[in-house]
Amino acid sequence: MTSHASRLDELGWRSFFSAQLSDAEVAQCVPVRVMAVHRGFIAVAGDGVETLMPSQIPGADGEEDRPAAGDWLLLARESHEPVRLLRRANLFKRLAAGVRQRLQVIAANVDTLFVVASCNDDFNIARLERYLVLARDVDVTPVVVLTKTDLVDAWEPFAEAARALQPDLIVQAVNARDPQSVAALAKWCGPGQTVAFLGSSGVGKSTLINTLRGSDTLATGAIREDDGKGRHTTTAREMHRLEGGGWLLDTPGMRELQLSEVASGIAEVFDDIVSLAQECRFSNCTHEAEPGCRIVEAIDGGSLDPARLARWRKLATEEAANSASNTTRKARIAGRVSAAPQPSNRNGRRPRR
């Protein structure tokens, strides 16, 4: 029994998942983790189970019901037929590219999201903040990793700028090429822990990943898959073993993640601004020149950084545009024509009382 428990523990099994099983399911089912998702089939691993199976799950009707890499799935103990997906601790999804945009699940049950930026001219605090919004929205713990410390005289100012973004934000500065330096990330990469990486191109994600994987480097697992429209490369596995015993969840979509439908994340990261805005005299205040604007007051009083306000505006505008286009898309899918213009905020002031 202990060896059974430890194999599942190694795969990331924990009480959050085991608590979801009924007594009958405990007796009749076995849990497996989805290691990779391919066209029409998935690779799963569990205690004494390691197999490919069709990706169709009984009762699945929406995009979110499809298995994603990192998911936990219950199988019938004897037949290994799929029974149901367990509720996720978190889920990364995106709008798949293409004419007919559809929601696509790309990763589930990530424990730590490494948000990577480099200590050089590419360092961009607004971009970093966007990734933190995304992490917050998905409900995963972010750890900011600043790379290329060996290429600058002083990396501390970069770390201070990052730490100033959120109270309690964890920031680690490393030389991604140096295993001793990258050992600072070991506590999030131990047995049973699942991590994922986000960050712009060239910041050092692959370098970090290769250092964390030790000798077992990436890109060796690539296979070719024919999808009928032409050949494209896909990776054989999406959950990669790290040297420390943890798992790297590296799906193709993960690296291209963009901000979409993240209103709640924005509200959390900018909670100071959002709560100020709720106290403005007018409910539709644009925070520009209205009387009784708490945000203008805070800027004049020096307690709010105008640059931070500008970043919030940019995100909030983008989010509003995203939500509006998603609404249009959904309406179109539902067969309705939606051409009604959004009411403008600026048509008149609406006092709160």
Ligand X SMILES: Nc1nc2c(ncn2[C@@H]2O[C@H](COP(=O)(O)OP(=O)(O)OP(=O)(O)O)[C@@H](O)[C@H]2O)c(=O)[nH]1
Of 104, 109, 172, 175, the residue at the interface with ligand X (CB under 6 A) is: 175
Please, is 54 exposed, middle or buried when counting C-beta atoms within 10 Å of its C-beta (0-12, 13-18, 19+)? exposed
Burial call 296-311: b when 16+ CB within 10 Å, e when fewer: bebbeeeebeeebbeb
Size of the site for ligand X (CB under 6 A): 16
**Residue 209 or 285 with smaller CB distance to Zn ion:** 285
Residue nearest to ligand X (CB): 204
Q: By CB under 6 A, which span of 69-77, 145-153, 276-284, 338-346 interacts with ligand X?
A: 145-153
Q: Least Å distance between CB 282 and Zn ion?
A: 7
Q: Least Å distance between CB 342 and Zn ion?
A: 20
- Please tell me whether 338 is known to bind a ligand: no
Q: What are phi and psi of 329, to 5 degrees?
A: -60, -45
**Residue 180 or 344 with smaller CB distance to ligand X:** 180
- Please tell me whether 283 is known to bind a ligand: no
Q: By CB under 6 A, which span of 20-28, 174-182, 184-192, 327-335 interacts with ligand X?
A: 174-182
- Please tell me whether 207 is known to bind a ligand: yes
Q: Does 240 bind ligand X (CB under 6 A)?
A: no
Window 232-291: residues binding Zn ion (CB under 5 A): 280, 285, 287
**Residue 116 or 280 with smaller CB distance to ligand X:** 116
Spatial distance between the Cα atoms of 84 and 204, rounded to a whole number of angstroms: 38
Q: Least Å distance between CB 117 and ligand X?
A: 10
Q: Least Å distance between CB 209 and ligand X?
A: 8
Spatial distance between the Cα atoms of 94 and 256, rounded to a whole number of angstroms: 9
Q: Does 117 bind ligand X (CB under 6 A)?
A: no
- Please tell me whether 150 is known to bind a ligand: yes
Q: By CB under 6 A, which span of 21-29, 105-113, 170-178, 297-305 interacts with ligand X?
A: 170-178
Q: Does 179 bind ligand X (CB under 6 A)?
A: no
In the list Zn ion, ligand X, none, the entry touching 349 (Cβ below 5 to 8 angstroms by class) is none
In the list Zn ion, ligand X, none, the entry touching 285 (Cβ below 5 to 8 angstroms by class) is Zn ion
Q: By CB under 6 A, which span of 84-92, 154-162, 196-204, 230-238 interacts with ligand X?
A: 196-204
User: How many CB atoms are closer than 10 A to CB 108?
Assistant: 26
Q: Does 172 bind ligand X (CB under 6 A)?
A: no
- Asked if 77 contacts 30 with a C-beta cutoff of 8 angstroms, the reply is yes
Extract the tokens encoding 74: 């219950």
Size of the site for Zn ion (CB under 5 A): 5
- Please tell me whether 302 is known to bind a ligand: no
Longest pairwise C-alpha distance within the chain:
70
- Asked if 173 contacts 119 with a C-beta cutoff of 8 angstroms, the reply is yes
Q: Least Å distance between CB 38 and ligand X?
A: 22
- Please tell me whether 51 is known to bind a ligand: no
Spatial distance between the Cα atoms of 236 and 305, rounded to a whole number of angstroms: 47
- Write the DSSP string, 286-344: -SSS-TT-HHHHHHHTTSS-HHHHHHHHHHHHHHHHHHHHHHHHHHHHTT----PPPPP
Spatial distance between the Cα atoms of 144 and 163, rounded to a whole number of angstroms: 9
Q: Least Å distance between CB 101 and ligand X?
A: 23
Question: Using a CB cutoff of 8 Å and minimum separation of 24, what contacts does 44-52 make?
Answer: 44/73, 44/75, 45/11, 46/7, 46/8, 46/11, 46/75, 47/4, 47/7, 47/8, 48/7, 49/75, 49/80, 51/80
**Residue 6 or 181 with smaller CB distance to ligand X:** 181
